[in-house]
Structure 1
Amino acid sequence: MQSSEIRKRFLDFFGVRAHRYYPSASLVPHNDPTVLLTTGGVQQFIPYFLGQERPASTRAMSAQKCFRTPDIEDVGDWHHLTFFEMLGNFSFGDYFKKEAIEWAWEFLTEDLKIPPERLWITIFEGDDDAPEDVEAKELWKSVGVPEHKIFGLPKSENWWGPPGETGPCGPCSEVYYDHGEEFANGDPTEDSKYGPGGDEGDPRFLEIWNLVFNQYEQLKDKSFVPLSKTGIDTGLGLERTTAAVQDVLYVYDTDVYAPIFEKANEYTGISLGDSESTDRALRIVADHARGMAFLIADGVRPGNQRREYVLRRLIRRAMLQAHSRLGMSPRQLAGLAETVVDYMGDFYGELNSARENILRIVTGEASRFVEIYESGMSLLASEIERMRGGYFPGDVAFMLHDTYGFPVEVTREVLAERGLSLDEAGFEAAMDAQRERAREAMQGYERVVAAFRDQEIRSRFVGYEREQVETRIVAIEPVPDAGGEVFVVLAENPFYATGGGQVADAGWITSEDGQLEVFDAIPAGDYQVLRARFESGAFEAGDAVTASINRVRRQQIEANHTATHILHWALRAVLGQDVVQAGSYVGPDRLRFDYRHAGKVTDDEVGRVQELSLQKITENQPVRYFTTTLEEARNLGAMMLFGEKYSDLVRVVEVDGFSRELCGGTHVRGTAEIGAFKILSNRKHGADLYRIEVITGRDALYYLTGATERAEEVSEALKVDIDDLPAAVGRLREEVRTSREAAREHALKQGLEEVGDLIEGARQVNGTRVVTGQVAAADVRGLRQISDDVKNRLGGPSAVVLAAALGGKAVLVANLHPDVSQRVEAGEIVREVSGVLGGGGGGGATMAQAGGGNLEAIPEALARVRVILDQRLADPE
């Protein structure tokens, strides 16, 4: 049974049960700028569940296109997807658990013919706040599920909502497909961790359907009361269900992706299973081709902001693999996206309408990327050659990004393939410096500033107390050389302007006739200048408007700002009172704190800082703000930034008496609002300067969930409990080190045994002994050591150029006597022949190195080396 047939059967099944069909919502959420992209089937029905709107029918069904951005970097393995389809049936105060469970079972076992014995169930196990979902358990038993195949899971796994601090919520019940005992890590009837939803349940169990039972309302005190009208929200993943119906282990083995793989094979002759590297590339282009086609069809265009950047990143990441691994052209990548139109356009008509746009946009964006890639790769390769240590300089990555347009994500991927890492702190520092230059340039528009000054503007900041305000425009001027953008000043302004390390608020200015999107706010003396772009309508000074900040973004910034104060206190508590703040960044995505400390900061001390910070957060300490005199603030012991100028009246932010700082930023009301808190890194940036980076709230939870999943995957691969991972990894590293050393010694011995033959074959070219050849080596260090040995044994003027096959790549080393380097430099030699190997290279006068992916070209490259040496050494002058 094909995936399209499964989708049709689902809609037919619930259609005859009086469910109203709702077409898929756009991937671009309607009327909700706080949400990046549509991530689930329930999204378009949230107003019905919240009682904000009345549905046309109390029963609904849909096939929803979804896109999840956190998985982009993970796509390439056998599991992760960015774009997927979610089939769902919904009840708004109509039927409840009995019908939802019975229909789910009937559809899976009778319509889809999935053997009942292959299906396992999870339910909510209960806790102090809500009881075990016994009703769901008994209903599953009544349709024929044995009790030993029903597992209880905690709230973290089997509970939905509320969508805010209060509102509807309830337990979930999930249906899992059992691939069979041959994929088991243990017996689930003896230990639940081997069962569905368990820590070691993969890959045996595949979740295919989630049934959410909205039966409670969460109140402000976090207690639950029964909902007056219950609801049902289900999500059946089409790709996963297809894998179950077709009884294949991975979604990429289903018919969903087959047309894309077939088209890729038509272009390249490469199929799944040819090699691990091409398999990964094929999975990336298959997933991303679907995502880019649907995003473009829903009106998204490549750019540098929000969802536009998601599309650009998707096309570039796909083209990187298509070009470097599969040998495909930009037009061929667009051809893969067109294949999505061909086989999905019958159901999603917007794809057919957007066919020409999809081809044009993908081809254009991919072509531009290839130009950037080709020029950037040679620069990147030469910079890698100059590296000292395992970290690629952040300022160089920024230069490639800023000057040549070479995406930093590509730099990261290239480095990862070579076992290297990017100096992220250095890259961010360069980015911050650029942002500061841009901000200064923006504030330097003399014409705009003069115009505002001449108008004798009066404006008042009300953003501490109010997030939305009815106000009026007191001044508005176009931004020079930026079409569609304006500078605006409001009589009453809720937007916090950049200051004290905190980024500016964003949001909207609306009137009866139009809307502006505010994306920056700049302090300008006694008022704030907002920078905004037109979304619709026209505006002029004197207009009555509503100014609204982006509340979700503000909450994230507030959480990170209060967390910064707690972090500062914890650092001083652990490291000592000599800790001095040297700078900070507080944004919606993370916080960064630079500090000076004379001593070394250990991992244990960072762990104690994390622990202390979390302790204060979970205690839900109250946060209060007050204005006082500068003298009184000093008497209270409030922290002040060294060198900062303060007025006579200052604002103090206090966290329950243990932290006091002079601060004009926005903060949470209680520390528990921060949520999770995770220190990502603490790196040294100078003699006594450190930079610590932290994420909080939802981002921290996503990070920790991802880290846990990766740890579980590793523990599964190593067949050890997750608690034993550090010891197991330590043993594995030692085994790998020993094995590599043995292999290296063997290869070096073999290579050195070949030295005699190489020396006997040395040619004389105008008094220089020349040796070229291919040898066995374990790594680049071994190849260089062999070249040193040959050069030393030759004695006198000599030129040694050796090549080896290392890790599937061709590597060439040129090692010249200093006298020879006066006539031809090693770096010149490798740069001239690196193209033959399909890569790049560089180096100094006496030692240089080149590499590339074309192993078969080694003899040709060495022949070219001999020609170069004969030509350059022929004339002693």
Structure 2
Amino acid sequence: MEKLGLNELRRMFQEFYEGKDHYARKSFSLIPEKDKSLLLINSGMAPLKPYFAGLETPPSKRMTTCQKCIRTGDIENVGYTARHATFFEMLGSFSFGDYFKVESITWGWEFITEVLDMPVDRLWASVYEEDHEAVEIWKNIIGLPEERIVPLGKDDNFWEIGTGPCGPCSEIYFDRGEKYGCGKPDCKPGCECDRYVEFWNHVFTQFNRDDAGNYTPLAHPNIDTGMGLERLACIMQEVDSIFNVDTIQYILKSVVELSGVEYKDGTANTDISIRIITDHIRSVTFMIADGILPSNEGRGYVLRRLLRRAARHGKLLGIQGSFLADLSKKVIEVSGSAYPELEERRDYIHKILTVEEDKFSTTIDQGTAIIHDYMKELNAASQTILSGEKVFKLYDTYGFPLELTQEILEENSCTADVEGFNEHMLHQKEQARSARKSDEDEGWSDDATMFAGLEDTTFIGYDTLSGQVSIKGLFLDKQPVASLSEGDSAILVLDKTPFYAESGGQASDTGILKGDHFELEVLSVSKSKGIYAHKVKVVTGTVKIGDIISAQVSIERRNNTARNHTATHILHKALKEVLGNHVEQAGSNVTEDSLRFDFTHFEGISKSDLQKIESIVNEKINYFFPVITEVKSVEDAISSGATALFGEKYGDTVRVVSVGDYSTELCGGTHITNSGQIGAFRILSENGVAAGVRRIEAITGTGLYRKLKTEEELVHSAADALKTNVSGLLNRITILNDELKASKKELEDLKRQAMSSGLDALIAEAKLVNGVRLITKAFKDYDINDLRTLSDEIKAENKGIIIVFATETNGKVTFMVSVSDDLLEKGYHAGNMIKQIAAAAGGGGGGKADMAQAGAKDPSKINDALNLAETLLQQY
């Protein structure tokens, strides 16, 4: 048996099944496309469920894939065992109503014995105990001895999840030899020992299970096989652990080299940390390549959790500084040929990992120290459970995932109050929901059931902005009606429409619908599957189902929107040119007034780069590029260089929009016919909207004209207000600014003189409290630095004195406590005093023993806080 590499095994499997007329599809994204039940793709068949369920037509009745998968259910075991992993690849062969058991088992046997040359005498099969057909195939067609065909019960060899398609399965095992066995004479597949390794499961989906538990044979049974690539590699390379497989070992050795720690392939804490980092860097590299970004929810939380867990174990190994970004290059080296997206997004992956790890490194030391302080408190109180409140604080304030806190606690024989944590999390979410104000019009939300029985709307708006159309459905308050009267606001469905429905970030068209005796205003258009729902208001007359009417799209709105949409395509390409190929579209909003473009990037854009981007866009506008739209197959579009969006689901054919030879993207929106029609482009703002996502807002054409008119009016108004003309405005502002600076300086000088002149009075007003002179004073609109200078002057000439000042500016309060040097050795401490003084006015802070300051929120409590100072001194 030749020791074949993991990449070679993948290639051999796919080529074998291509030779059996299977369509070899590249791996689906880790982000489920239409399956809300899954956070991440976790099996080879998961992305194919629509084909098995008959909801979609597969590209071929025979398919094969090598699917990348993420499973985090056993994350606590990753690194502690030889077989657990969060990332793995699943080889699969599938039949959708084509071949069945004979072919599946026969071809599987052919691959492992003739292609991989596995020794026949070490192969076993298990079958469902009632599947006599499978037994006969193994015995009479394959020729496997009956003693190596093991019947097992429903729990082991019958695949079903609730109701729906299900069926028996047959698993192929590899005998690793007696040294891995339990020594029992009846040891065979199904035994709990490590001798027999199940590596290929053939599922025969031949029944449909109903709610009553009845099994009805399917007219067209299916085949679903799954074989873990890493597990197969373990067998072929004769190693005991997935961490010893060639490609994974290459990454592991890089971790060892980085850490300088010897790997012994055992259970030492350092070995566990090395395996955790090795596994997690594979997961996060693939997840980021598929467009997943670190966040505090959903799959982004899974990414952040894995990333931070790996970073922490790097620290435990003594790795200095950030290291995950460099380590991801090793993953790309060994897997990039099979998964081109890794190579294509190399810079993008590196940037995300760098930013996220750097962000975490600033808090991990502080957070870890806090956890250890909490554990000291638990030990002192002879307790082992950390409260939910404290666990939530670590999550909310310091960015520690719950699982990371649990892991650290468990390493120290403590546990977390998860129930209490969840209560705090729920409370926070409820507060966020109540604070959020939705602008959505729920009355007009999509409701597919409302349109049941209606045929799909034909969209004619790419070719025309008007046309004769027929009314197929009217809905008032979501209920079907036969007619509408003047003043009604309702939803209308047409047989065909020139109105673009809101989609892909582009706002819908508006316009007019007219008949002989009525007129309707189209306010917006949405799409529910294939139905275009027109939100309308009846301006005059009465309209009924079946009426033939004239549709007219607002030409000005359509043109302005199309102008902005085409500009986003040019902007996207310009961003890649200036910032790098890691830039990907992360969202957009295109209206007639402006455009908003979200994109992946991990730092603010400099002013010079923004100017460069804006200049490039305007340059391409002035080239008067033709904007050409073509309909192509997805494969042809991608191979021609068209840009597709992360996570976007495309049909068999797509619209390809090209702006000259500069930009080519897949896009279903509406566009102008020449880049020159955009007129001009101006960036209004650039800012961050999420971790690793930036946003540019911009205007074009008439939007830019309106902006310039507004700014021109503003400039004229400013000139009038300052009693000058536009050309003299800058000089007038400069003069006034100089005069203002001089006035402010004069005012500050007067304040300082007033404070100095009142120095003796302040000292004279000091109260003697417990043998210490106490000065308290509240000021209005005084700078805290001036008060600090004043306190230094007092302390320079006086001993045995404590000064407490407060100043209120724009509704905010700042307190300051200053202690003379001779009182420090007696235990007086400004920092300790100010914590309680500021708290009395709703604030907090601290500082050194001789000087401290703090902010507060409630000016009405200033006197209470100053009075508290006297009480504090009485306690010394």
Q: TM-score, normalised by structure 2?
A: 0.50
Structure 1 pair 63–537 and aligned structure 2 pair: CA distance change class (3 A): farther
> What amino acid does structure 2 have at the position aligned with 1:305?
E
State the Cα RMSD in Å: 3.4
Question: 1:136: Cα distance to partner?
Answer: 1.0
The answer to whether residue 281 in structure 2 is matched with residue 311 in structure 1 is no
- AA paired with 1:41? G
Match of 1:300 among 292, 296, 302: 292
1:801 is matched with none
- Does structure 1 residue 206 correspond to structure 2 residue 210? no
**Contact kept? 1:470, 1:544, Cα under 8 Å:** no
Partner residue, 1:637: none
| Residue number in structure 2 paired with 1:576 | none
Distance 2:222 2:40 in 1: 24
CA change 1:284–1:469 in 2 (3 A) is: farther
Counterpart check, 1:333 vs 2:333 = no
Q: Is the 8 A contact 2:391 2:402 kept in 1?
A: yes
Change (3 A) 1:424 1:216: closer
* Partner in structure 2 of residue 379 of structure 1: 370
Q: Distance in 2 between matches of 1:539 and 1:404?
A: 46
What is the identity, as a one-letter code, of the residue corresponding to 1:179?
Answer: R
**Counterparts of 1:430 and 1:238, CA distance in 2:** 42
Contact 1:337–1:359 (8 Å) recurs in 2: yes
State the one-letter code of the partner of 2:45.
V
Alignment pair present for 1:222 and 2:221 = no
Find the partner of 1:284 among 265, 270, 276: 276
- Correspondence for 1:84 among 77, 88, 93: 88
Name the CA distance, whole Å, in 1 between partners of 2:388 and 2:87: 32
Match of 1:176 in 2: 173
3-state SS of the aligned residue for 1:273? coil
Shift of 1:397: 1.8
Larger radius of gyration: 2
Rounded Cα–Cα distance in structure 2 between residues aligned with 1:123 and 1:535: 51
Aligned equivalent of 1:423: 417
User: What is the identity, as a one-letter code, of the residue corresponding to 2:34?
Assistant: N
Instruction: State whether residues 470 and 546 of structure 1, in contact with CA within 8 Å, keep that contact through their aligned partners in structure 2.
Output: no
Tell me, yes or no, if structure 1 residue 439 matches structure 2 residue 433: yes
Alpha-carbon distance, 1:344 to partner:
0.7
1:827 aligns with none
The residue number in structure 1 matching 2:625 is none
Give the 5 Å matches for 1:132-171: 132-142=130-140, 143-161=142-160, 165-166=163-164, 168-171=165-168
1:674-721 CA deviation, whole Å, 9 max, x = no partner?
xxxxxxxxxxxxxxxxxxxxxxxxxxxxxxxxxxxxxxxxxxxxxxxx
Q: Which amino acid aligns with 1:88?
A: G
1:69 to 72, 77, 101: 72
Q: For structure 2, which runs of at least 5 residues remain unmatched after alignment?
A: 453-475, 480-496, 511-521, 530-825, 828-876
Quote the residue 1:396 is aligned against.
390
Q: Residue 196 of structure 1 aligns to which amino acid in structure 2? A: P
In structure 1, distance between residues paired with 2:232 and 2:78: 19
The answer to whether 1:246 aligns with 2:214 is no
Q: Does 1:115 align with 2:119?
A: yes
Per-residue CA distance 1:502-550 (angstroms, 9 max, x = gap): xxxxxxxxx996679xxxxxxxxxxxxxxxxx976569996465789xx
Q: 2:247 aligns with which of 253, 256, 273?
A: 256
2:603: which partner in 1?
none
1:414 aligns with 2:408: yes
The equivalent of 2:20 in structure 1 is 17
Aligned residue in 1 for 2:674: none
| Offset of residue 467 of structure 1 | 8.8
Deviation at 1:185, TM superposition (A): 2.3
User: Partner letter of residue 136 of structure 2?
Assistant: E
Distance 1:538-1:286 versus aligned 2 partners, 3 A rule: farther
Partner Cα separation in structure 2 for residue 438 and residue 221 of structure 1: 43
> What are the within-5 Å matches in structure 2 for residues 278-677 of structure 1?
278-330=270-322, 332-387=323-378, 388=381, 389-442=383-436, 468-469=449-450, 537=507, 543=524
Per-residue deviation, 1:257: 0.8
**Take 2:16 and 2:60, find their aligned partners in 1: how far apart are those partners?**
17
CA contact (8 A) 2:202 2:223 kept: yes
Contact 1:209 1:237 in 2 (8 A): yes
> How many Å separate the matches in 1 of 2:13 and 2:329?
26
| DSSP-derived class of the 1:362 partner | helix
Structure 2 CA distance, aligned partners of 1:220 and 1:515? 40
For residues 474-513 of structure 1, give each alpha carbon's deviation from its aligned partner in whole angstroms, at most 9, with x where no partner exists: xxxxxxxxxxxxxxxx9569xxxxxxxxxxxxxxxxx996
In 2, the alpha carbon distance for the partners of 1:404 and 1:140 equals 58
| Cα distance in 1 between the residues matched to 2:210 and 2:398 | 54
Is the contact made by 1:301 and 1:308 (CA closer than 8 Å) also made in structure 2? yes
Partner of 1:102: 106
Q: Partner residue of 2:56?
A: 53
The letter of the residue matching 2:207 is: Y
SS in 2 for 1:152: strand
Structure 1 residues 745-786: Cα deviation after superposition (integer angstroms, max 9, x where no partner): xxxxxxxxxxxxxxxxxxxxxxxxxxxxxxxxxxxxxxxxxx
For residues 614-644 of structure 1, give each alpha carbon's deviation from its aligned partner in whole angstroms, at most 9, with x where no partner exists: xxxxxxxxxxxxxxxxxxxxxxxxxxxxxxx
Size of the alignment, in residue pairs?
A: 474
1:223 to 1:133, Cα distance in 2 relative to 1, 3 A? same
1:31 aligned onto 2:34 = yes
CA contact (8 A) 1:61 1:88 kept: yes
- Report if aligned partners of 2:409, 2:415 keep a CA contact under 8 Å in 1: yes
- 3-state SS, counterpart of residue 155 of structure 2: coil
Mean Cα deviation higher: 73-82 or 424-433: 424-433
- C-alpha separation between the residues in 1 aligned to 2:401 and 2:46? 32
Within a 5 Å distance, the mapping from 1:846-865 to structure 2 comes to none
- Asked if the contact 1:469/1:546 (under 8 Å) is kept, the reply is no
SS for the counterpart of 1:216 is: strand
Name the CA distance, whole Å, in 2 between partners of 1:398 and 1:404: 9
Give me the whole-angstrom Cα distance separating, in 1, the residues matched to 2:68 and 2:41: 8
Cα distance between partner residues in 2 of 1:458 and 1:313: 35
Deviations 1:429-452 (A, max 9, x none): 322332333334336x9xx7xxx9
Match of 1:158, as an amino acid?
N
Cα distance between partner residues in 2 of 1:218 and 1:352 = 44
Kindly provide the amino acid, as one letter, of the partner of residue 172 in structure 1: C
Measured in 2, the distance between the counterparts of 1:342 and 1:82 equals: 20
Structure 1 residues 351 and 121: CA distance shift in structure 2, 3 A? same
Query: TM-score normalized by structure 1?
Result: 0.50
Three-state SS of the structure 1 residue aligned to 2:133 is helix
Q: Tell me the CA shift for residue 317 of structure 1.
A: 1.1
Q: 1:151 to 1:418 in 2, by over 3 A?
A: same
8 Å Cα contact 2:204/2:222 also seen in 1 = yes
| Whole-angstrom distance in 2 between the partners of 1:470 and 1:94 | 35
Match of 1:678 in 2: none
3-state DSSP class of the match of 1:334? helix
State how far apart, in whole Å, the 2-side matches of 1:64 and 1:460 are: 39
Deviations 1:285-330 (A, max 9, x none): 1111111111111111111221111111111111111122352532
Report how far residue 103 of structure 1 moved.
1.5
